């Protein structure tokens, strides 16, 4: 089968979170199964662009409201990623250094989607599946079915994967003229509660919808940032498929970001040596258990609870542990985390920003990873942590519930708590300290964690099965 993935992110080209990791891995594994999976994404000004060679494969133009845009599709020359990578270049709109966060993101991603559909309409053949990811590609199924110029694409089956339903790409109806001439009888397929909602539109128009874990799918019927009743209504076409992790990128035995490398046989020494590097760099005490947090500092991740939970743990548990936080996000959380550095010298440190290398070093060198998320569609951090022998401490939600079993249960290997509150987080840290006091238990747990299989093979086969059901 030929599958075209449409996404705003794809690792290592451009990544802001888990979406990038998934779109950088899934197509590669689909190709390994003998399919032809391709990725099309915006051409941002990232390092990857300057370090690789590209061929121009298509040039086109389109109107969006009162603007006219020329676009170019370029293709990476060497197939280095394990799949064909196509970038959409729209001068002045997409060619920015970051993926998101600009005042004209609505225009940027709408234009990206129009360019993709327009390009697709010029193909000599049709792909078997168009697989769109999140709201930044959510208007593609609607356009393929309802824009007059593209209706010849309407028979191509479309699949939507929701990596995060919190963000939906809302647009006021005044912007409806951005879409190429479309059948206005079909306005209901764009609308959700009085606005154009690209994510809701994709749920309505795609032939199948997947979420990145089964638990998240179930939770969305009661908690989906306003789309609850839509997921209840459309549940017949929805499936949960757990993400895998790219074992070729996330492997402590070969990871070039960490030193020394280690496997499950020498994990104790390997992890300790990596911990030493972190402790030296961040003025922490190697003899104490190291708790880390890596991720976006936003409400969804319950990052706002971290400062108080860290304070309470250090003060009420006599400073028996160290903390290291890596992330960026809401300004006031960043500020609180920065200010704490001078108050908890030797117990806590943080690095505000995005740092791929440091994240790998932290998965490798930490003893425990904190993930108190309020919402977690799948969560990759806990899987990376486990692969690197770090015990995950997670809230019982979404993909965290599907991947972590509490060590108090038979066969368990992590720590799970129910409420996103300072109390539950500190109590879990206390439980972690109890675990850390038992070297045999830690050793066994690390061995169990590193043997767990979160590879892409199972999920890839599930996606292929889903596509085949649409033939």
Contact pick of 196, 292, 344, 380 for ligand ADP (by CB under 6 A)? 380
| Residue 414 contacts residue 392 (beta carbons within 8 Å) | yes
Closest separation between CB of residue 202 and ligand ADP, Å?
18
Chain positions 209 to 248 lying near ligand ADP, rule: CB under 6 A, are none
> Which listed range, 47-55, 252-260, 349-357, 456-464, lies at the site for ligand ADP (CB under 6 A)?
349-357
| Contact string 355-374 vs ligand ADP (x = CB under 6 A) | xx--x---------------
> Which listed range, 195-203, 266-274, 379-387, 462-470, lies at the site for ligand ADP (CB under 6 A)?
379-387
**186 vs 328, beta carbon nearer ligand ADP:** 328
Whole-number Å distance between alpha carbons of 322 and 317: 11
Closest separation between CB of residue 327 and ligand ADP, Å?
5
| Contact string 138-177 vs ligand ADP (x = CB under 6 A) | --------------------------x-------------
Closest separation between CB of residue 299 and ligand ADP, Å?
12
Q: Does 338 bind ligand ADP (CB under 6 A)?
A: no
Q: Which helix (H) or strand (E) holds 271?
A: helix 267-282
Q: Does 99 bind ligand ADP (CB under 6 A)?
A: no
Closest separation between CB of residue 446 and ligand ADP, Å?
20
Instruction: Please tell me the number of Cα atoms within 13 Å of 419 on its side-chain side.
Output: 6
The arrangement of strands across the sheet holding 158-162 comes to 54-64, 67-76, 84-89, 36-42, 2-6, 129-133, 158-162, 208-211, 238-240
Residue with tokens 């609850």: 228
Q: Does 308 bind ligand ADP (CB under 6 A)?
A: no
Taking alpha carbons only, the member of 119, 22, 4 closest to residue 61 is 119
Q: Does 385 bind ligand ADP (CB under 6 A)?
A: no
> Which listed range, 18-26, 103-111, 140-148, 458-466, lies at the site for ligand ADP (CB under 6 A)?
18-26
Contact pick of 354, 396, 405, 462 for ligand ADP (by CB under 6 A)? 354
User: Which residues face 67 on adjacent strands?
Assistant: 64
**44 vs 142, beta carbon nearer ligand ADP:** 44
Whole-number Å distance between alpha carbons of 325 and 293: 5
Compute the residue count for the chain.
471
Instruction: Please tell me the number of Cα atoms within 13 Å of 98 on its side-chain side.
Output: 10
Residue nearest to ligand ADP (CB): 18
Strands 195-196 and 191-192: antiparallel
CB neighbour burial string for 252-283, b if at least 16 within 10 angstroms, e if fewer: beebeebeebbeeeebeebbebbbebbbeebe
**157 vs 295, beta carbon nearer ligand ADP:** 295
Contact pick of 10, 17, 289, 456 for ligand ADP (by CB under 6 A)? 17
Whole-number Å distance between alpha carbons of 133 and 140: 10
> Which listed range, 80-88, 187-195, 326-334, 435-443, lies at the site for ligand ADP (CB under 6 A)?
326-334
* Token digits of residue 12: 């290592």
| Residue 450 contacts residue 389 (beta carbons within 8 Å) | yes
User: Which residues face 296 on adjacent strands?
Assistant: 328
**153 vs 425, beta carbon nearer ligand ADP:** 425
**93 vs 302, beta carbon nearer ligand ADP:** 302
**267 vs 294, beta carbon nearer ligand ADP:** 294
3-state secondary structure of 229: helix
Contact pick of 141, 252, 327, 398 for ligand ADP (by CB under 6 A)? 327
Q: Does 381 bind ligand ADP (CB under 6 A)?
A: yes
Residue spans of beta strands (DSSP E) within 34-101: 36-42, 54-64, 67-76, 84-89
**18 vs 372, beta carbon nearer ligand ADP:** 18
> Which listed range, 32-40, 87-95, 375-383, 434-442, lies at the site for ligand ADP (CB under 6 A)?
375-383
Q: Does 379 bind ligand ADP (CB under 6 A)?
A: yes
> Which listed range, 70-78, 174-182, 376-384, 462-470, lies at the site for ligand ADP (CB under 6 A)?
376-384
Q: Does 21 bind ligand ADP (CB under 6 A)?
A: yes
For 226, residues 6+ apart whose C-beta sits below 8 A from its C-beta are: 168, 192, 193
For 214, residues 6+ apart whose C-beta sits below 8 A from its C-beta are: 240, 242, 402
* Token digits of residue 172: 């006021």
User: Which residues face 406 on adjacent strands?
Assistant: 414
Residue with tokens 């209504």: 233
End-to-end CA distance of the chain: 10
Residue with tokens 């662009």: 49
Total of chain residues touching ligand ADP, rule CB under 6 A: 19
Q: Does 104 bind ligand ADP (CB under 6 A)?
A: no
Q: Does 393 bind ligand ADP (CB under 6 A)?
A: no
Contact pick of 9, 18, 165, 262 for ligand ADP (by CB under 6 A)? 18
User: Which residues face 328 on adjacent strands?
Assistant: 296
* Sites of contact with ligand ADP (CB under 6 A): 17-19, 21, 164, 294-296, 326-328, 354-356, 359, 378-381
């Amino acid at each position: 089968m030929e599958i075209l993935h449409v996404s705003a992110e794809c690792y290592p080209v451009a990544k802001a979170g888990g979406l990038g990791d998934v779109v950088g891995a899934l197509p590669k594994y689909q190709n390994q199964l003998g399919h032809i999976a391709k990725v099309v994404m915006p051409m941002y000004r990232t390092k990857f662009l300057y370090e690789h060679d590209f061929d121009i494969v298509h040039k086109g133009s389109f109107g969006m409201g009162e603007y006219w845009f020329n676009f170019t599709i370029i293709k990476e020359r060497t197939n280095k990623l394990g799949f064909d990578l196509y970038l959409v270049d729209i001068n002045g709109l997409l060619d920015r250094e970051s993926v998101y966060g600009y005042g004209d993101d609505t225009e940027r991603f709408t234009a990206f989607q129009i360019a993709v559909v327009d390009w697709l309409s010029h193909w000599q053949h049709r792909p078997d599946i168009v697989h769109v990811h999140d709201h930044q590609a959510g208007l593609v199924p609607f356009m393929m079915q309802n824009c007059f110029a593209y209706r010849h694409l309407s028979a191509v089956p479309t699949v939507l994967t929701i990596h995060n339903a919190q963000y939906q790409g809302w647009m006021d109806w005044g912007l409806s003229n951005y879409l190429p001439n479309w059948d206005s009888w079909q306005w209901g397929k764009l609308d959700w509660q009085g606005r154009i909602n690209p994510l809701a539109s994709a749920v309505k128009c795609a032939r199948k919808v997947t979420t990145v874990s089964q638990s998240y799918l179930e939770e969305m019927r009661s908690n989906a940032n306003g789309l609850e009743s839509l997921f209840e209504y459309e549940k017949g076409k929805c499936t949960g498929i757990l993400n895998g992790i790219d074992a070729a990128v996330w492997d402590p035995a070969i990871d070039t970001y960490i030193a020394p490398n280690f496997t499950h046989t020498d994990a104790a020494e390997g992890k300790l040596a990596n911990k030493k590097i972190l402790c030296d760099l961040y003025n922490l005490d190697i003899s104490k258990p190291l708790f880390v947090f890596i991720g976006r500092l936003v409400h969804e991740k319950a990052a706002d609870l971290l400062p108080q939970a860290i304070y309470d743990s250090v003060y009420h548990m006599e400073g028996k542990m160290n903390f290291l936080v890596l992330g960026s996000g809401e300004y006031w959380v960043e500020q609180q985390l920065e200010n704490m550095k001078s108050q908890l010298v030797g117990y806590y440190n943080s690095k505000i920003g995005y740092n791929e290398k440091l994240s790998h070093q932290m998965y490798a060198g930490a003893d425990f990873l904190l993930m108190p998320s309020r919402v977690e569609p799948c969560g990759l951090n806990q899987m990376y942590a486990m692969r690197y022998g770090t015990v995950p401490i997670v809230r019982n939600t979404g993909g965290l519930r599907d991947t972590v079993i509490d060590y108090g249960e038979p066969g368990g290997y992590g720590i799970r708590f129910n409420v996103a509150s300072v109390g539950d987080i500190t109590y879990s840290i206390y439980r972690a300290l109890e675990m850390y006091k038992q070297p045999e238990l830690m050793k066994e747990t690390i061995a169990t964690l590193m043997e767990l299989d979160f590879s892409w093979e199972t999920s890839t086969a599930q996606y292929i099965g889903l596509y085949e059901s649409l033939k």
